[in-house]
Structure 1
C-alpha cells in the first residue's frame, strides 16, 4: 500500500479522505511526497477526468522504489538518455525546460514553404542539444505515462484520456521561456450536445495561431490523430479527428513527409486498429486557413502505445495480455540505425527486464552499441529477439 505525505500529513492511497485532500492541495499548490523511499520522492497533482490524481514528476521515475507504481525504467536505455541535462533541463520545482530544434515564429503574414519537413530528423547534427519535433512528441507521450500498459487498462484509454495526459504533461514543461501548454493545441473529443462549448474553447485556444499584422508571428503546436489525407490544390489536406477544419500542407512538404514517414504510413494503413499521431507547428491565416510549417508522425496501436515495426507490434500485442506493467521505450532524436530498448518490464522479479528487438540487417556497430547499452545497466535482465533468427522467443 502506497503512502503519501501532503502538507506534513500521511495518507494511504486508498484513504477515503484522500480525494478531498488532493483537491485542496491542488488549489494550494502543495506537492505530495511518495513514501516508497526515505527521504520521500516529490510528485505533483493533476486534474484528470474531474478527478485529482497524484503523478510522478518528469524524469523522477528512477528515484522511486522498483516496487512502487511510480517507478520508471532507466532512461539511458532509450533515446531520452542523451537528452537529459542538454535538450531537457529539469529545475528544482520539477519543471522541464525544452531546447527546441525548430522555430515557433515566422516572418510575414503568410508562411513560406518550410525548408525541410523536419530539419532535425534523422538526428545527424544536434542529437543531444536540442529536441526535434518527433522528440517533443515522444517526450510528451512518455511524461504523460502513455508508454505504460497493463491488461487491466483494456478499454479504458481513449482519445479523451490521451488528451488529458498530454495536457497535464505539457503543464510541467516550458519552451522558449514560456509554458508549453500555452502553445500546445490538442483537439477535444467532439460531443454533439456540447458542440457550442467545444467551439468556444477551441476558438480561445487557437487565438495565438492567428495572423496579427505582417511582422513576426507566433506559431502553435498541435498533437492530433490523423483521420485521412486528401488532395488539395497545390498540396494536401490533413483531416484530423474531432476538428471541423483540415490542416493544409504544401506539396513539397507532403512529398518529404511521405518519404520520411513511409514506414509509419505503411503500418497505419495495414491495420484499422492502429492510430496515426501527428505533431506539427502551424499558423492560421487571415482567411482562417490552418497551414502546417513542420510535421512529424508516430503510429500507435489500439492501446495508444507507439511502435515502429510489425515485429514490435507483435511483441506489444503479446505483452498487452499480461497483468504486469510494461513500458515502451522511445527513440526521441535517435535514428533507426541505433539500438533502443523496445519494452521494459519493471515489475518482473528477481530483476526488471529490458526487451530488445534486433532488426534484420543490423551491422557490427549496432551490435556493439547494443552490448554497451546492456552492460551499462547491469541491474536489468536483457531479453533479445533477433528477427533474422525467426519467431519471437519465449517471454520472461
Structure 2
C-alpha cells in the first residue's frame, strides 16, 4: 500500500484524510513525498476536474521502489537512455524536463514540403542529440502512464483520460523555456451538443499561430487519433477523430513519403480493426486559415492504447493485457529498428522482475550480440525471449 508524506503527516492511500490533504497540497503548491523509499521521493499534484491526483515527477520513476506504482524500468532497456542529458535535461530544482527538439516550431520563408518525422539513423552521436517527433510522442506516452496496463483496467481507458494525462505530462516539459503544453493540441472528445463551444475553444487555441505579415510562422504540435487519410486535390487530408470538419492538409509528395516511411504502421493499423493509429505532427495555418502539416510521425497502439511495432508485439501486448500483473511497454524513441529494446517488462514479477524481448526474424549476429550484452547488464532481472523467426510465442513464466 502506497504511503505519502504531506505537510509532515504520513497517510496511506486508503486513509480518508488523504483527499483533503492532497487538495491542500495542490492549493499551497506543496510537493507530497512518496514513501516507497526513504527519505521520500518528491511528487506533484494535478487537478482532474474536481479531483486531485498525485503524480510522479518527470522521468523520476527509477527512483521509486519496483513495487511502487510510480516505478519506471531502467532507462537502458528502452531507447530513452541515449537521450538523457542531451535531448532531455532534468532540472532538480523545478522538477521540469527541458527538451531539445530535432524539429522546428516555426517556419520562415515559403513552406517546405512536409517531411515524415522520426527519422532513424544507424549511428548515434555522442553530443548534440535532439528529440525527434516520434521520440516526443513516445516520451509523452510514457510520462502520461499510457505504457502501463493491467487487466483490472479493462474498459477504463478512454480518449478523455488519455487526453488529460498527455496534457498533464506536457506541463512538466519545457521547450525553449516555456511549457510544452502551451504549443500542444490534443483534441477534446467531440459531442454534437457541445459543437459550438468545442470549436470556439479550438479557435482560441489556434489564435497564437495565425499568420502574420512579418516574421516566422508559428507552429503547434498535434497529438490525436487518425480517423482516415482522404484523397484530395493535390494531396491528402488528415482527418483526426474528434475534429469533424477540420481537415489538415498534406501535399502529394509528403503523402508519398508518409506511405514509404510509415508503411509498417499503416499496414498494422489496416490489419487490426481494434487498433488505433496515433499521429504527432507539427502544423500551421496558411493565409486562408487552412491547417497545413509540416512534419508528421505515426504510432500504432492496441485496443487498450498500448503501443506496438510488429504483429509479434501485438500478440505479446494482447497476452499481457489479460494478466492482473501490471506490465510496462518498452518504447524505441530514437533507437533504430536494428537495435534491441525490451518489448515489455513485468517489474513486480516474482521472484525477480522479468524483461520480455521479441527478436525479429531479420535479426543478425550483431543484433543477437547487443541483446546478450543488454541482458547481461541487468543481472538482477530475469529475461524471456521470443525469436519470432523460430515459431510461435513461448509461454510466459508463471509468477
Give your verdict on TM over 0.5.
yes
Find the counterpart in structure 1 of residue 100 from structure 2: 99
Q: Distance in 2 between matches of 1:7 and 1:212?
A: 49
Seen in structure 2, the aligned counterparts of structure 1 residues 393 and 308 have a Cα distance that, compared at 3 Å, is: same
Is residue 209–residue 282 contact of structure 1 (8 Å, CA) maintained in 2? no
Residue 67 of structure 1: CA displacement? 1.5
Q: Deviations over 1:157-213 (max 9, x none)?
A: 011111011001000001122110000000000122322322222111112222122
Find the counterpart in structure 2 of residue 373 from structure 1: 374
Q: Distance in 2 between matches of 1:247 and 1:267?
A: 23
Find the counterpart in structure 2 of residue 168 from structure 1: 168
Q: Distance in 2 between matches of 1:94 and 1:178?
A: 14
Find the counterpart in structure 1 of residue 331 from structure 2: 330
Q: Bigger shift: 52-61 or 199-208?
A: 199-208
Unpaired stretches in structure 2, ≥5 consecutive residues:
none
Q: Distance in 2 between matches of 1:360 and 1:127?
A: 28
- What's the TM-score, normalizing by structure 2? 0.96
Q: Distance in 2 between matches of 1:96 and 1:333?
A: 17
Find the counterpart in structure 2 of residue 237 from structure 1: 237
Residue 24 of structure 1: CA displacement? 2.2
Residue 309 of structure 1: CA displacement? 0.4
SS of aligned partner of 2:375: helix
Residue 378 of structure 1: CA displacement? 1.4
Q: Distance in 2 between matches of 1:62 and 1:27?
A: 28
SS of aligned partner of 1:82: helix
Q: Distance in 2 between matches of 1:132 and 1:369?
A: 23
Residue 151 of structure 1: CA displacement? 0.2
Q: Deviations over 1:313-343 (max 9, x none)?
A: 0011111010010000000011111111000
1:231-310 residue pairs with structure 2 within 5 A? 231-244=231-244, 245-310=246-311
1:10-159 residue pairs with structure 2 within 5 A? 10-92=10-92, 93-108=94-109, 111-114=111-114, 116-118=115-117, 121-124=119-122, 129-159=129-159
Seen in structure 2, the aligned counterparts of structure 1 residues 196 and 21 have a Cα distance that, compared at 3 Å, is: farther
Residue 50 of structure 1: CA displacement? 3.6
- What's the TM-score, normalizing by structure 1? 0.96
Seen in structure 2, the aligned counterparts of structure 1 residues 319 and 180 have a Cα distance that, compared at 3 Å, is: same
Q: Distance in 1 between matches of 2:27 and 2:209?
A: 30
1:184-263 residue pairs with structure 2 within 5 A? 184-244=184-244, 245-263=246-264
Q: Distance in 1 between matches of 2:86 and 2:379?
A: 25
Task: Say what the alpha-carbon RMSD is for the aligned residues.
Answer: 1.4
Q: Distance in 2 between matches of 1:15 and 1:200?
A: 41
Q: Bigger shift: 204-213 or 329-338?
A: 204-213
SS of aligned partner of 1:249: strand
Seen in structure 2, the aligned counterparts of structure 1 residues 127 and 296 have a Cα distance that, compared at 3 Å, is: farther
Q: Distance in 2 between matches of 1:208 and 1:370?
A: 46
Q: Deviations over 1:344-371 (max 9, x none)?
A: 0011011110000000020011011111
Find the counterpart in structure 1 of residue 396 from structure 2: 395
Unpaired stretches in structure 1, ≥5 consecutive residues:
none
Q: Distance in 2 between matches of 1:135 and 1:127?
A: 16
The total of aligned residue pairs comes to 393
SS of aligned partner of 1:188: coil
